[in-house]
């Protein structure tokens, strides 16, 4: 077996299950999970109808590059959403089976194993960045995202010696778990660093369509490129998905876009990888990407939940003002996220994810996720609000 497998950490939910294994929750309260970021809103029905309509196309092999109409739809959506001069549908857009699969595959294809390979990831982080790096033979470099940094990575903290070996920098905006949005100015500064140190910027933007201010959609990496006049999107790739945008996580549909000199060999890798998207899923995806009405309604539902939960928890917990995504990132009153999580499950039958399970200790032994919780506000309003009320009751009762 690949010896690098032994370097993989258990997934946060495995660790959470172990923390709860010996605990018995209150039997008189129904369990409310706020753990996994799996949308519980109804999936976009027109996409499901398209799946059925095209079901007989399951009898055909799909191409890695996807249908021309699908690539055109993706290019049109990204161009309009991020104010781009355009995308070459043959060379700058590639369908993928969700961002998780694509991110993992991308790192395997992009890292040059003939030299030192470091990958910068935000800390705390989505664990696939780390796992993909380790299995590609790379070394993760963790950049703490704390309240002091506005929950953004501080690239000035990276030494010139480290930059020399960096091959990929991961950005997650809006952030998981913090919900922080990377401003255009920060994207542009990172692009300048990529030019100076010759690395790829991989921007995970799967939460980009879940934002609280309808007048302020989160910017993207390619948008920053466009403002800099870089229509070749050199050294930049972005990852997008229908999972959160259209409540279709099971569809496993997304795309990668950006630098053609990067995507061309990545497409070659995927051809061997054998991960082409089925034709019915492509047709369903076209329908979903072409409609914005259901996406606005989805944002409205999340706004309502954020407002209700904030009203309940703000008096007893400190957390950054939500900007985007569907997570809340509160600090626990006593600073012990593990103990609080266990008490909450035992006394209130609410499951949350301790922030320390999403981070790694830095050189000083400080885990930037410690002392916080990730609350996934993915269920309907009533159970989400009840969970918030139970959390407040636990805090107020001491």
Convert the pLDDT of each residue in 59-79 to its tens digit.
999 999 999 999 999 999 999
Q: 10 with 26, same domain? A: yes
Tokens 């781009």 belong to which residue? 84
Secondary structure tally for the chain: helices H, strands E: 14, 12
Pick the closest to residue 101 from 1, 206, 195, 185 (CA basis): 206
Residue 339 pLDDT: 97
- Complete DSSP assignment for 329-378: -PBPTTS-HHHHHHHHHHHH-EE-EEGGGG----TTS--TTTTBEEEE--
Among the candidates 291, 323, 341, a domain finishes at: 291
Among the candidates 259, 291, 323, a domain finishes at: 291
Length of the chain: 398
Q: Is residue 48 part of a domain?
A: no
Question: Phi/psi class of residue 313: alpha, beta or left (left: φ > 0; alpha: ψ in -120 to 50)?
Answer: alpha
Q: Is residue 102 part of a domain?
A: yes
Pick the closest to residue 15 from 374, 325, 329, 366 (CA basis): 374
Residue 202 pLDDT: 98
Pick the closest to residue 179 from 19, 355, 29 (CA basis): 355
Q: Is residue 49 part of a domain?
A: no
Residue 331 pLDDT: 98
Pick the closest to residue 36 from 140, 177, 171 (CA basis): 177
Q: How many CB atoms lie within 10 A of CB 382?
A: 11
Tokens 């997570």 belong to which residue? 327
Q: 11 with 93, same domain? A: no
- Complete DSSP assignment for 69-87: HHHHHHHHHHHHHTT-S--
Q: 334 with 308, same domain? A: yes
> How far out from the chain centre does Cα 65 lie?
23
Q: Is residue 53 part of a domain?
A: no
List the strands of the sheet with 236-241, edge to edge.
93-96, 254-258, 236-241, 200-204, 166-172, 118-123, 139-144
Q: Is residue 50 part of a domain?
A: no
Q: Is residue 192 part of a domain?
A: yes
Helix (H, G, I), strand (E, B) or coil at 201: strand
Q: 37 with 80, same domain? A: no
Q: 183 with 87, same domain? A: yes
Q: 28 with 170, same domain? A: no
Angle (CA) 335 122 326, round 5°: 70
Where b means 16+ CB within 10 Å and e means fewer, 123-153 reads: bbbbbbbbbbbbbbebebbbbbbbeeeebbb
Q: 145 with 194, same domain? A: yes
Q: 96 with 209, same domain? A: yes
In this predicted model, what pLDDT tens digit does every residue of 141-159 receive, in sequence order? 999 999 999 999 999 999 9
User: By the 8 A CB rule, do 360 and 314 touch?
Assistant: no
The CATH number of residue 27's host domain is 3.90.1150.10
Q: Indicate the angle between helix axes 98-110 and 260-273, nearest 10 degrees.
A: 100
Q: Is residue 253 part of a domain?
A: yes
Among the candidates 291, 315, 341, a domain finishes at: 291
Return the structure tokens found at 50. 């398209």
Domain count, the chain: 2
Maximal C-alpha separation, the chain: 61
pLDDT tens for the 398 residues of the chain, in order: 888 899 999 999 999 999 999 999 999 999 999 999 999 999 999 999 999 999 999 999 999 999 999 999 999 999 999 999 999 999 999 999 999 999 999 999 999 999 999 999 999 999 999 999 999 999 999 999 999 999 999 999 999 999 999 999 999 999 999 999 999 999 999 999 999 999 999 999 999 999 999 999 999 999 999 999 999 999 999 999 999 999 999 999 999 999 999 999 999 999 998 899 999 999 999 999 999 999 999 999 999 999 999 999 999 999 998 899 999 999 999 999 999 999 999 999 999 999 999 999 988 899 999 999 999 999 999 999 999 999 999 999 97
CB half-sphere exposure, 354, CA atoms < 13 A: 26
Q: 301 with 261, same domain? A: no
For residue 389, the enclosing domain spans: 3-42+294-396
Return the structure tokens found at 126. 């989505």
Q: 198 with 92, same domain? A: yes
Q: What is d(CA 211, CA 173) in angstroms, rounded to the nearest whole number?
A: 11
């Amino acid at each position: 077996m690949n010896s690098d497998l032994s370097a993989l950490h258990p997934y946060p939910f495995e660790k959470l299950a172990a923390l709860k294994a010996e605990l018995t929750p209150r039997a008189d309260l129904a369990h409310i999970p706020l753990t996994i970021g799996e949308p519980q809103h109804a999936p976009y029905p027109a996409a499901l109808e398209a799946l059925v309509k095209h079901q007989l196309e399951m009898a055909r092999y799909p191409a890695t590059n996807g249908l021309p109409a699908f690539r055109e739809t993706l290019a049109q959506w990204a161009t309009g959403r991020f104010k781009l001069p355009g995308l070459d549908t043959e060379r700058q857009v590639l369908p993928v089976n969700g961002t998780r699969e694509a991110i993992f595959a991308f790192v395997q294809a992009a890292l040059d194993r003939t030299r030192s390979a470091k990958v910068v990831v935000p800390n705390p982080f989505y664990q696939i960045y780390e796992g993909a790096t380790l299995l590609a033979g790379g070394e993760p470099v963790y950049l703490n995202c704390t309240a002091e940094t506005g929950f953004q990575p501080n690239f000035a903290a990276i030494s010139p010696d480290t930059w020399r070996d960096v091959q990929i920098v991961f950005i997650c905006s809006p952030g998981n778990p913090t919900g922080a949005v990377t401003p255009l100015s920060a994207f542009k500064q990172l692009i300048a660093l990529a030019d100076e140190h010759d690395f790829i910027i991989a921007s995970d933007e799967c939460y980009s369509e879940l934002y609280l201010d309808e007048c302020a959609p989160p910017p993207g990496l390619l948008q920053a490129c466009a403002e800099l006049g870089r229509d070749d999107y050199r050294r930049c790739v972005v990852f997008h998905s229908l999972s959160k945008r259209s409540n279709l996580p099971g569809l496993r549909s997304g795309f990668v876009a950006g630098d053609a000199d990067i995507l061309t060999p990545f497409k070659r890798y995927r051809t061997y990888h054998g991960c082409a998207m089925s034709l019915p899923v492509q047709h369903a995806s076209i329908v979903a990407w072409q409609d914005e009405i259901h996406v606005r309604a989805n944002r409205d539902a999340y706004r309502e939940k954020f407002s209700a939960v904030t009203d309940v928890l703000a008096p007893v917990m400190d957390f950054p003002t939500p900007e985007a995504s569907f997570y809340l990132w509160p600090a626990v009153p006593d600073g012990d996220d593990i103990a609080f999580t266990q008490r909450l499950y035992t006394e209130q039958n609410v499951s949350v994810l301790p922030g320390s399970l999403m981070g790694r200790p830095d050189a000083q032994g400080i885990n930037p996720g410690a002392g916080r919780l990730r609350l996934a506000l993915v269920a309907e309003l009533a159970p989400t609000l009840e969970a918030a009320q139970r959390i407040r009751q636990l805090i107020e009762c001491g």
